[in-house]
A and B are shown apart, each in its own frame.
Chain A
Amino acid sequence: MSGSLIEIGLGATSLSLIIAVASMILAFLSLHRGAPSFLHAARHGMILIAVLTTIGCFTIIWSFVIKDFSVLYVAQNSNSQLPLLYRLTALWGAHEGSLMLWLWYLATFSAIAVFVHWKSHPLSMPYVIMTLAGLQIGFMVFILFLSNPFIEVHPALPDGKDLNPLLQDPGLAFHPPTLYMGYVAFSIPFAFAIAALARGQSGREWVVTTRRWTLFAWVTLTSGILLGGYWAYYELGWGGYWAWDPVENASLMPWLTGTAFLHSIMAQDQRNLFQTWNVFLIITTFALSLLGTFLVRSGVLTSVHSFAADPGRGAYILLFLIVVSVIAYGLLIWRGHRLIGPHKVSNLVSRESALLYNNLLFVAAAIIVLTGTLYPLAIEVLTGERVSVAAPYFNKVMAPVMLGIVLLMGIGPLIPWRKSSYTKMQKQFTIPIGLAVLISIVSYFLGATDIIAMIAIGLVGFVLASTSLDIIGAVKAHRQVTDRSWLSSLSVLAGNNQRRYGGFIVHLGTLVLIIGVIGSAFFKEESTVNMKPGDQVVSGPYTLTYKTIVPQKGPNYSERMAFFDWKKEDGTTGTLTPSKRNYPVTQTVTTEASILSTLVGDLYVVLGNEHGKGEVTTRVFWNPLVNWVWIGWMIILFGVLFAMTKRAPKIVSTPNKKPTKEVLV
């Protein structure tokens, strides 16, 4: 009965492969035969693929819902006792389903992009469809032939193996799909960039058109990464949210180049600069997204994300990565010169040169992360030895680059395009610089003895001050001509200029996030102690007293829960209950941290081993300002949404450089 359902999913996905091949061929033929009906058919194909892959995903999810253990993927990643929420999210609990989700995003975004940009970009459309269909084919072949989630086993297995307990957490339930969404959304600007390259069309058209896609991709990738950190912090129980693990790095690399891209397309939009560079950035961002998938799924790197590794699959993803990069970078090398416009960055102190420095720093950061991530692999391939590059390398090398980026954040948006003058800048930045120095010195006396921390705190003050002064100046000027109140003046300004003020909000969110990072990186306290009932330990402003440990029972696990009383300096009290859970089906033990979370900081308690008579090893962390990281993220989300409310100006396809026949009528 249900067996036939999963077969429908398999059938739908197989059919979508055939349609994708057909769409690609039709889009290609439409270029040469000039038959608009071919391109129309290809468009219908793209929309049909989105429908078919939706059916494919749905049949897997439904098999999880009805606990159909005749589906191998369901049996391997769920269990009859698994709660419904996690049966729903088990789709991306392992390799096969994750890729299906990837494909579904790609198919859906492709269909939306083709539909939305159909009228305005008739000349780019054949190339866009060819690119997107090509990417879809790559994933469909992989899914159908090498990692098929639709495989059935007969007779059905009596019960499933259960989902990896680490994934049984709401934070993680949403981390992978958000991250993938960010990765995949970059495929749309990528496809338009390929079209621009293929057509040798150098205008601002493709960056303006895909601006919202880029913002969307950027904000989902940002959220995916932060959700991962959030999950690591609350679920993994080691007291932090970022560990420079290879898989984390794999998601950070496209974020860094994507952020560079997000900034540099402004220069192409406003001043028609950096055309080739922007194409390079988006190709690199998308290639790094694929590389992220490759690194995670092939098992080439050793990581805490120990997914089932399979060299056959790894070889396929590598091949796919090679095909995509050879075609994309090959086009760039072959055709890139046709994009170069007549303009140049003419002045060292101007908005465009600030964007240039911003880009150099972001790309440098991406190279640093890439090097650190691949170094162990290179060493092992060359010498056979196993090494790992850990946090100290990344922290040391990345800190100055990041500080440079923060500095630019306080200057770039405030200086004009084309040319600024030193006297003007002096006027603009004297007060903020003075303030920054003052804040740094004060922070030293308040306990920021680390030089990096001091500079970072000063820079945050600098950016806040310079940006506020700029906004205040604008509001003042506006009030002089309109006679409005301060607040309404500000809202009119922001409402007329969503992109600029959206950007300011995102920058503000980033500053809040950075404050959280500074607090938790430089001022955290950590202690590991063996505690007997009645013992006390001091952490931050809290005194923690260990009471007792007792066994408890959960729906699909049993646990040992410890009770700690905390007392703050100001006299408030409460209880924390960290525990260790044992999931019998998968034979996994997880530690559940117990966290007292406030705006000032988190008191974070994790259990280690028990030593009998209630004695237990306890790790206690005082993590200042961690919540600011998540608050910063919320502000960033709001800022991007605000910036996205600005519609892209209607742009009609500019004609190709080399005259080609008009394709559409």
Chain B
Amino acid sequence: MTTHPQNIEPQKTVRWWQFALIGVMIMMFILFAAGLGRDTKFIPSPLIGKAAFNFDLKRLGAEKQIKLSDYKGKIVVLNFWASWCVTCREEHHILLESSKALQPSGKVQFIGVNSKDTDKAAFGFMDKRGHFPYPSVIDRQGRMALEYGVYGMPETFFINKNGVIAAKHIGALTHKILADKLKQAEAVQ
């Protein structure tokens, strides 16, 4: 129905917009690809550089209280976990391996915070995936998570020798992240 001459092919010349379009497309893709690698969960926490909340909580599976101040002089790796937290399963073996490797030196102490969980579920989790070679404290109501401004499970705080929060990580740990954050905790006075 259109009345164009159908047998005439318009002349093909390279136009400026074709170059512009290709250029813009490539630039955008580079920008997005570069943006992907970023740690988007990085939120400068107001707690970093502040004294860590000195908790005094019951130990999971034992009639014993645990205080943060008991570990003054050591770097404390405080890991919030729960049996219902799926990402915690990802970092579980990393916690097991690195705590076994690091704790014997006496410089680093790992502490778990079992948050908003039941003892039974927590033990079920550890029976299946391996028991932590370090104590966990019970935070049934999630009060402790609130004190530390925990944003999502798992979350790990690195507290230096003086009881000051030096670094934190949201999400599953890797060996590299753990090493980096520990370095930060060592560096801070």
> A: which residues have CB within 8 A of B?
72, 75-76, 153, 157-158, 161, 202-205, 272, 294, 298-302, 309, 311, 314-315, 318, 321-322, 325-326, 329, 332-333, 336-338, 340-342, 374, 377-378, 380-381, 587, 651-652, 654-655, 657
Q: Does B101 contact A (CB under 8 A)?
A: no
Structural contact, B4 and A342, CB atoms closer than 8 A: yes
0/1 string, B15-53, CB within 8 A of A gives 1: 100100110010011011111111011000000000000
| Residue from the list A322, A338, A587, A652 in contact with B9, Cβ < 8 A | A338
User: A321: which B residues are within 8 A, CB to CB?
Assistant: 32
Structural contact, A326 and B25, CB atoms closer than 8 A: yes
* Cα-based distance from A95 to B133 in the complex (angstroms): 35
Structural contact, A657 and B6, CB atoms closer than 8 A: yes
* Closest residue on chain B to residue A339 by CB atoms: B10
| Residue from the list A76, A158, A336, A587 in contact with B145, Cβ < 8 A | A587
Nearest first, the 8 A-B pairs at minimum CB distance are A203-B2, A299-B40, A381-B34, A300-B35, A333-B18, A377-B35, A309-B40, A314-B36
Structural contact, A332 and B84, CB atoms closer than 8 A: no
CB distance from A532 to the nearest CB of B (A): 27
* Cα-based distance from A641 to B41 in the complex (angstroms): 43
Structural contact, B31 and A377, CB atoms closer than 8 A: yes
User: A332: which B residues are within 8 A, CB to CB?
Assistant: 21
Q: Does B126 contact A (CB under 8 A)?
A: no
Residue tally, chain B, CB below 8 Å to A: 33
| Residue from the list B25, B33, B86, B116 in contact with A76, Cβ < 8 A | B86
User: A378: which B residues are within 8 A, CB to CB?
Assistant: 31
CB distance from A605 to the nearest CB of B (A): 27
User: B9: which A residues are within 8 A, CB to CB?
Assistant: 338, 657
User: B84: which A residues are within 8 A, CB to CB?
Assistant: 75, 157, 161
CB distance from B134 to the nearest CB of A (A): 25
Q: Does B176 contact A (CB under 8 A)?
A: no
Known: A158-B121, A202-B4, A325-B25. A587 touches B142 (CB 8 A): yes
Known: A204-B2, A374-B31. A329 touches B25 (CB 8 A): yes
User: B187: which A residues are within 8 A, CB to CB?
Assistant: none
| Residue from the list B1, B13, B36 in contact with A300, Cβ < 8 A | B36
Interface centre among B10, B15, B35 (most CB of A within 10 A): B35
* Cα-based distance from A205 to B2 in the complex (angstroms): 9
User: B15: which A residues are within 8 A, CB to CB?
Assistant: 337
| Residue from the list B1, B31, B34, B145 in contact with A203, Cβ < 8 A | B1
Listed A/B pairs (6) with beta-carbon separation below 8 Å: A153-B86, A300-B32, A300-B40, A311-B36, A381-B34, A655-B6
Structural contact, A333 and B22, CB atoms closer than 8 A: yes
* Cα-based distance from A205 to B1 in the complex (angstroms): 9
Q: Does B146 contact A (CB under 8 A)?
A: yes
* Cα-based distance from A646 to B57 in the complex (angstroms): 71
* Cα-based distance from A314 to B22 in the complex (angstroms): 22
0/1 string, B115-150, CB within 8 A of A gives 1: 010000100000000000000000000100110000
User: A158: which B residues are within 8 A, CB to CB?
Assistant: 121
User: A340: which B residues are within 8 A, CB to CB?
Assistant: 10
* Cα-based distance from A314 to B33 in the complex (angstroms): 9
* Cα-based distance from A611 to B25 in the complex (angstroms): 54
* Cα-based distance from A204 to B1 in the complex (angstroms): 10
Structural contact, B25 and A337, CB atoms closer than 8 A: no
| Residue from the list B4, B25, B86 in contact with A341, Cβ < 8 A | B4
> B: which residues have CB within 8 A of A?
1-2, 4, 6, 9-13, 15, 18, 21-22, 25, 28-29, 31-38, 40-41, 84, 86, 116, 121, 142, 145-146
CB distance from B73 to the nearest CB of A (A): 32
* Cα-based distance from A333 to B142 in the complex (angstroms): 58
Known: A157-B84, A299-B40, A311-B37. A294 touches B2 (CB 8 A): no
Structural contact, B31 and A315, CB atoms closer than 8 A: no
Beyond A300-B40, A333-B21, 20 extra complex contacts between A and B, CB < 8 Å: A75-B84, A157-B84, A158-B121, A202-B4, A203-B1, A298-B36, A311-B37, A321-B32, A329-B25, A333-B18, A337-B11, A337-B12, A337-B13, A374-B31, A380-B35, A381-B31, A381-B38, A587-B146, A652-B1, A654-B1
User: A325: which B residues are within 8 A, CB to CB?
Assistant: 25
User: A157: which B residues are within 8 A, CB to CB?
Assistant: 84
| Residue from the list A202, A318, A341, A652 in contact with B29, Cβ < 8 A | A318
CB distance from B127 to the nearest CB of A (A): 13
User: B37: which A residues are within 8 A, CB to CB?
Assistant: 311
CB distance from A140 to the nearest CB of B (A): 22
Structural contact, A318 and B36, CB atoms closer than 8 A: yes
* Cα-based distance from A202 to B10 in the complex (angstroms): 11
CB distance from A557 to the nearest CB of B (A): 15
Number of A-B residue pairs, CB cutoff 8 Å, is 81
* Closest residue on chain A to residue B143 by CB atoms: A587
* Closest residue on chain A to residue B28 by CB atoms: A374
CB distance from A82 to the nearest CB of B (A): 16
Structural contact, B31 and A329, CB atoms closer than 8 A: no
User: B31: which A residues are within 8 A, CB to CB?
Assistant: 374, 377-378, 381
User: B38: which A residues are within 8 A, CB to CB?
Assistant: 300, 380-381
* Cα-based distance from A537 to B127 in the complex (angstroms): 60
* Cα-based distance from A309 to B9 in the complex (angstroms): 49
* Cα-based distance from A314 to B15 in the complex (angstroms): 33
User: A299: which B residues are within 8 A, CB to CB?
Assistant: 40-41
* Cα-based distance from A6 to B4 in the complex (angstroms): 55
Structural contact, B41 and A309, CB atoms closer than 8 A: yes
User: B33: which A residues are within 8 A, CB to CB?
Assistant: 318
* Cα-based distance from A113 to B28 in the complex (angstroms): 32
CB distance from A443 to the nearest CB of B (A): 41
CB distance from A662 to the nearest CB of B (A): 15
* Cα-based distance from A342 to B4 in the complex (angstroms): 8
Structural contact, B2 and A381, CB atoms closer than 8 A: no
* Cα-based distance from A203 to B1 in the complex (angstroms): 8
Structural contact, B21 and A329, CB atoms closer than 8 A: yes
User: A654: which B residues are within 8 A, CB to CB?
Assistant: 1-2
* Cα-based distance from A16 to B34 in the complex (angstroms): 34
User: A72: which B residues are within 8 A, CB to CB?
Assistant: 86
User: A301: which B residues are within 8 A, CB to CB?
Assistant: 35
User: A202: which B residues are within 8 A, CB to CB?
Assistant: 2, 4
* Cα-based distance from A426 to B6 in the complex (angstroms): 42
User: A76: which B residues are within 8 A, CB to CB?
Assistant: 86
* Closest residue on chain A to residue B38 by CB atoms: A380
* Closest residue on chain B to residue A308 by CB atoms: B152
User: B29: which A residues are within 8 A, CB to CB?
Assistant: 318, 322
* Cα-based distance from A337 to B1 in the complex (angstroms): 20
Known: A318-B32, A333-B22, A337-B12. A302 touches B2 (CB 8 A): no
* Cα-based distance from A380 to B15 in the complex (angstroms): 34
User: A377: which B residues are within 8 A, CB to CB?
Assistant: 31-32, 35
* Closest residue on chain A to residue B13 by CB atoms: A337
CB distance from A422 to the nearest CB of B (A): 32
* Cα-based distance from A157 to B121 in the complex (angstroms): 10
User: A161: which B residues are within 8 A, CB to CB?
Assistant: 84
* Cα-based distance from A299 to B33 in the complex (angstroms): 12
* Cα-based distance from A309 to B28 in the complex (angstroms): 20
Structural contact, B34 and A302, CB atoms closer than 8 A: no
CB distance from B80 to the nearest CB of A (A): 12
* Closest residue on chain A to residue B85 by CB atoms: A161
* Closest residue on chain B to residue A276 by CB atoms: B17
Structural contact, A294 and B32, CB atoms closer than 8 A: yes
User: A380: which B residues are within 8 A, CB to CB?
Assistant: 35, 38
* Closest residue on chain A to residue B9 by CB atoms: A338
* Cα-based distance from A315 to B38 in the complex (angstroms): 12
Structural contact, B10 and A337, CB atoms closer than 8 A: yes
User: B142: which A residues are within 8 A, CB to CB?
Assistant: 587
